[in-house]
Amino acid sequence: GAVVSQHPSWVICKSGTSVKIECRSLDFQATTMFWYRQFPKQSLMLMATSNEGSKATYEQGVEKDKFLINHASLTLSTLTVTSAHPEDSSFYICSARNGVNTEAFFGQGTRLTVV
Amino acid sequence: GEDVEQSLFLSVREGDSSVINCTYTDSSSTYLYWYKQEPGAGLQLLTYIFSNMDMKQDQRLTVLLNKKDKHLSLRIADTQTGDSAIYFCAESMGTDKLIFGTGTRLQVFP
Protein backbone atom coordinates (compact mmCIF):
# COMPACT_ATOMS: atom_id res chain seq x y z
CA GLY A 1 0.00 0.00 0.00
CA ALA A 2 0.89 3.65 -0.18
CA VAL A 3 2.98 5.26 2.53
CA VAL A 4 2.00 8.16 4.74
CA SER A 5 4.69 9.51 7.02
CA GLN A 6 4.16 11.63 10.11
CA HIS A 7 6.84 13.67 11.80
CA PRO A 8 7.73 13.77 14.58
CA SER A 9 6.73 10.41 16.07
CA TRP A 10 6.69 11.92 19.50
CA VAL A 11 7.20 15.36 20.95
CA ILE A 12 7.31 16.87 24.41
CA CYS A 13 6.70 20.57 24.71
CA LYS A 14 6.18 23.15 27.39
CA SER A 15 2.77 24.52 28.14
CA GLY A 16 2.09 27.65 26.14
CA THR A 17 4.30 26.79 23.20
CA SER A 18 3.17 25.70 19.72
CA VAL A 19 3.91 22.40 18.08
CA LYS A 20 3.77 21.53 14.39
CA ILE A 21 3.11 18.01 13.15
CA GLU A 22 3.72 17.09 9.53
CA CYS A 23 1.91 14.51 7.47
CA ARG A 24 3.38 13.53 4.12
CA SER A 25 2.19 11.19 1.42
CA LEU A 26 5.40 9.71 0.09
CA ASP A 27 4.38 7.98 -3.13
CA PHE A 28 1.01 9.40 -4.10
CA GLN A 29 -0.77 12.70 -4.32
CA ALA A 30 -3.13 13.23 -1.44
CA THR A 31 -6.07 15.31 -2.53
CA THR A 32 -7.60 14.94 0.92
CA MET A 33 -5.98 14.57 4.31
CA PHE A 34 -7.64 13.89 7.62
CA TRP A 35 -6.47 14.60 11.14
CA TYR A 36 -7.59 12.44 14.04
CA ARG A 37 -7.03 12.57 17.74
CA GLN A 38 -6.93 9.47 19.89
CA PHE A 39 -7.19 9.53 23.66
CA PRO A 40 -5.74 6.63 25.64
CA LYS A 41 -7.79 3.47 25.23
CA GLN A 42 -10.35 5.33 23.15
CA SER A 43 -11.35 5.51 19.55
CA LEU A 44 -10.17 7.98 16.97
CA MET A 45 -11.97 11.25 16.75
CA LEU A 46 -11.93 13.08 13.45
CA MET A 47 -10.75 16.62 14.01
CA ALA A 48 -10.75 18.04 10.51
CA THR A 49 -10.67 17.29 6.81
CA SER A 50 -8.43 19.24 4.50
CA ASN A 51 -8.36 19.42 0.73
CA GLU A 52 -5.27 20.70 -1.02
CA GLY A 53 -5.42 24.44 -1.52
CA SER A 54 -8.60 24.89 0.51
CA LYS A 55 -9.38 25.75 4.10
CA ALA A 56 -9.82 22.78 6.38
CA THR A 57 -13.29 21.68 7.47
CA TYR A 58 -13.37 21.23 11.21
CA GLU A 59 -15.62 18.87 13.11
CA GLN A 60 -17.98 20.26 15.68
CA GLY A 61 -16.26 21.07 18.93
CA VAL A 62 -12.77 21.36 17.44
CA GLU A 63 -11.28 24.83 17.79
CA LYS A 64 -9.85 25.90 14.45
CA ASP A 65 -7.75 28.65 16.02
CA LYS A 66 -6.26 26.13 18.39
CA PHE A 67 -5.54 23.43 15.83
CA LEU A 68 -4.27 25.11 12.67
CA ILE A 69 -4.28 22.90 9.60
CA ASN A 70 -2.50 23.73 6.39
CA HIS A 71 -2.62 21.61 3.24
CA ALA A 72 -0.44 23.64 0.93
CA SER A 73 0.60 20.86 -1.43
CA LEU A 74 -0.63 17.50 -2.64
CA THR A 75 1.90 15.69 -0.47
CA LEU A 76 2.01 17.69 2.74
CA SER A 77 -0.42 18.72 5.44
CA THR A 78 0.54 20.21 8.78
CA LEU A 79 -1.28 20.42 12.09
CA THR A 80 -0.11 23.11 14.48
CA VAL A 81 -1.27 22.93 18.07
CA THR A 82 -1.08 26.52 19.25
CA SER A 83 -0.50 27.53 22.85
CA ALA A 84 -0.49 23.90 23.89
CA HIS A 85 -1.80 22.87 27.29
CA PRO A 86 -1.55 19.55 29.12
CA GLU A 87 -5.09 18.64 28.07
CA ASP A 88 -3.87 18.72 24.45
CA SER A 89 -1.63 15.77 25.21
CA SER A 90 -2.78 12.98 22.95
CA PHE A 91 -1.96 10.74 20.01
CA TYR A 92 -2.55 12.55 16.72
CA ILE A 93 -2.94 10.54 13.54
CA CYS A 94 -3.28 11.72 9.97
CA SER A 95 -4.58 9.87 6.97
CA ALA A 96 -4.45 10.68 3.28
CA ARG A 97 -6.32 9.61 0.19
CA ASN A 98 -6.26 10.35 -3.50
CA GLY A 99 -9.76 10.82 -4.79
CA VAL A 100 -13.17 9.97 -3.42
CA ASN A 101 -14.11 6.49 -2.25
CA THR A 102 -10.52 5.38 -2.34
CA GLU A 103 -8.59 3.85 0.51
CA ALA A 104 -7.25 6.26 3.12
CA PHE A 105 -3.74 5.46 4.30
CA PHE A 106 -2.75 6.30 7.85
CA GLY A 107 0.42 7.76 9.25
CA GLN A 108 2.09 6.15 12.21
CA GLY A 109 0.87 8.84 14.57
CA THR A 110 2.48 11.49 16.74
CA ARG A 111 2.38 11.32 20.51
CA LEU A 112 2.23 14.81 21.95
CA THR A 113 2.96 15.38 25.62
CA VAL A 114 2.55 18.87 27.00
CA VAL A 115 4.24 19.49 30.34
CA GLY B 1 -26.67 10.20 15.37
CA GLU B 2 -23.70 8.11 14.44
CA ASP B 3 -22.49 5.59 16.98
CA VAL B 4 -20.26 2.57 16.55
CA GLU B 5 -19.67 0.20 19.45
CA GLN B 6 -17.35 -2.69 20.10
CA SER B 7 -16.50 -4.87 23.05
CA LEU B 8 -13.32 -3.63 24.69
CA PHE B 9 -11.29 -6.76 25.09
CA LEU B 10 -10.89 -10.26 23.66
CA SER B 11 -8.43 -12.92 24.71
CA VAL B 12 -7.83 -16.07 22.64
CA ARG B 13 -5.39 -18.94 22.53
CA GLU B 14 -2.96 -19.14 19.64
CA GLY B 15 -4.41 -21.24 16.85
CA ASP B 16 -8.03 -20.61 17.80
CA SER B 17 -10.38 -18.36 15.88
CA SER B 18 -11.11 -14.83 17.06
CA VAL B 19 -14.39 -13.08 16.46
CA ILE B 20 -14.57 -9.34 16.98
CA ASN B 21 -18.01 -7.76 16.92
CA CYS B 22 -19.20 -4.29 16.06
CA THR B 23 -22.62 -2.63 16.08
CA TYR B 24 -23.49 0.60 14.36
CA THR B 25 -26.54 2.79 14.30
CA ASP B 26 -26.54 4.56 10.94
CA SER B 27 -28.36 2.45 8.37
CA SER B 28 -27.14 4.65 5.52
CA SER B 29 -23.58 3.35 5.83
CA THR B 30 -22.16 2.47 2.45
CA TYR B 31 -18.83 0.96 3.43
CA LEU B 32 -17.73 -0.75 6.63
CA TYR B 33 -14.09 -1.24 7.48
CA TRP B 34 -11.83 -3.11 9.81
CA TYR B 35 -8.55 -1.52 10.86
CA LYS B 36 -5.69 -2.89 12.95
CA GLN B 37 -3.60 -0.72 15.24
CA GLU B 38 -0.41 -2.03 16.76
CA PRO B 39 1.04 -0.29 19.84
CA GLY B 40 2.17 3.26 19.14
CA ALA B 41 1.38 2.97 15.45
CA GLY B 42 -1.15 4.27 12.99
CA LEU B 43 -3.96 2.26 11.53
CA GLN B 44 -3.67 -0.42 8.91
CA LEU B 45 -6.68 -1.22 6.76
CA LEU B 46 -7.34 -4.95 6.97
CA THR B 47 -10.47 -5.31 4.90
CA TYR B 48 -13.73 -3.63 4.05
CA ILE B 49 -17.19 -4.62 2.91
CA PHE B 50 -19.75 -2.80 0.86
CA SER B 51 -23.12 -2.49 2.52
CA ASN B 52 -24.92 -4.64 -0.05
CA MET B 53 -22.73 -7.63 0.73
CA ASP B 54 -23.28 -10.20 3.49
CA MET B 55 -19.86 -11.73 3.65
CA LYS B 56 -16.33 -11.19 2.45
CA GLN B 57 -13.41 -13.55 2.89
CA ASP B 58 -9.77 -12.62 2.51
CA GLN B 59 -7.30 -15.34 3.51
CA ARG B 60 -7.62 -15.72 7.31
CA LEU B 61 -10.13 -12.89 7.60
CA THR B 62 -13.88 -13.26 7.22
CA VAL B 63 -16.21 -10.30 7.50
CA LEU B 64 -19.90 -10.87 8.14
CA LEU B 65 -22.47 -8.11 7.81
CA ASN B 66 -26.00 -8.30 9.14
CA LYS B 67 -27.51 -5.13 7.82
CA LYS B 68 -30.90 -5.72 9.45
CA ASP B 69 -29.33 -5.88 12.90
CA LYS B 70 -26.58 -3.38 12.00
CA HIS B 71 -23.99 -5.87 13.15
CA LEU B 72 -20.54 -6.41 11.69
CA SER B 73 -18.03 -9.03 12.70
CA LEU B 74 -14.44 -9.90 11.88
CA ARG B 75 -13.33 -13.48 12.22
CA ILE B 76 -9.61 -14.24 12.27
CA ALA B 77 -8.86 -17.90 11.65
CA ASP B 78 -5.81 -19.58 13.19
CA THR B 79 -5.03 -16.54 15.34
CA GLN B 80 -1.34 -15.86 15.83
CA THR B 81 0.54 -13.84 18.46
CA GLY B 82 1.26 -11.28 15.74
CA ASP B 83 -2.46 -10.63 15.53
CA SER B 84 -2.40 -9.07 19.01
CA ALA B 85 -3.46 -5.47 18.48
CA ILE B 86 -6.43 -3.16 18.73
CA TYR B 87 -9.04 -3.64 16.03
CA PHE B 88 -11.34 -0.84 15.00
CA CYS B 89 -14.42 -1.08 12.89
CA ALA B 90 -15.45 2.03 11.01
CA GLU B 91 -18.31 3.11 8.82
CA SER B 92 -18.64 5.68 6.11
CA MET B 93 -21.65 7.05 4.34
CA GLY B 94 -19.97 7.55 1.00
CA THR B 95 -18.46 10.80 2.18
CA ASP B 96 -14.95 11.40 3.39
CA LYS B 97 -15.91 10.98 7.01
CA LEU B 98 -15.11 7.76 8.82
CA ILE B 99 -16.81 7.00 12.13
CA PHE B 100 -14.68 4.69 14.22
CA GLY B 101 -15.75 2.21 16.84
CA THR B 102 -14.32 2.18 20.31
CA GLY B 103 -11.77 -0.49 19.45
CA THR B 104 -11.29 -4.07 20.66
CA ARG B 105 -8.01 -5.08 22.17
CA LEU B 106 -7.17 -8.60 21.03
CA GLN B 107 -4.67 -10.51 23.13
CA VAL B 108 -3.36 -13.83 21.84
CA PHE B 109 -1.68 -16.13 24.33
CA PRO B 110 0.38 -19.25 23.58
Strands (E), A1-115: 4-7, 10-13, 19-25, 32-38, 44-51, 57-58, 67-73, 76-81, 90-97, 105-106, 110-114
Using a CB–CB cutoff of 8 Å, tell me whether B55 touches chain A. no
Does the structure show a pLDDT above 80 at B44? yes
Q: Is B81 helix (H, G, I), strand (E, B) or coil?
A: helix
Series of mean pLDDT values for 10-residue runs along chain A (115 residues): 88 97 92 89 86 89 95 92 96 86 82 96
Q: How far apart are CA A114 and CA A88, in angstroms?
A: 7
Contact assignment for A106 to B88 by CB distance below 8 Å: no
The DSSP secondary structure of A67-89, one letter per residue, reads: EEEEEEETTEEEEEE-S--GGG-
Using a CB–CB cutoff of 8 Å, tell me whether A2 touches chain B. no
Contact assignment for B96 to A34 by CB distance below 8 Å: yes
Does the structure show a pLDDT above 60 at B1? no
Residues of chain B found within 8 Å of residue A45, distances taken between Cβ atoms: 100
What local confidence, expressed as pLDDT, does residue B34 receive?
Answer: 94
Contact assignment for A111 to B45 by CB distance below 8 Å: no
Which residues of A, range 13-52, sit inside 8 Å of B by Cβ? 32, 34, 41-46, 49
Q: Give the pLDDT confidence of B59-88 residue by residue, as tens digits.
A: 999 999 999 999 999 999 999 999 999 999
How far does B80 lie from chain A, in Å, by closest CA?
22
Tell me what the pLDDT averaged over chain B comes to. Answer: 90
Residues of chain A found within 8 Å of residue B35, distances taken between Cβ atoms: 106
Q: Give the pLDDT confidence of B10-33 residue by residue, as tens digits.
A: 999 999 999 999 998 877 778 899
CB B20 within 8 A of CB B74: yes
What local confidence, expressed as pLDDT, does residue B95 receive?
Answer: 62
Using a CB–CB cutoff of 8 Å, tell me whether A115 touches chain B. no
On the question of a cis peptide bond just before residue A8, with omega within 30 degrees of 0, the verdict is yes
Contact assignment for A43 to B103 by CB distance below 8 Å: yes
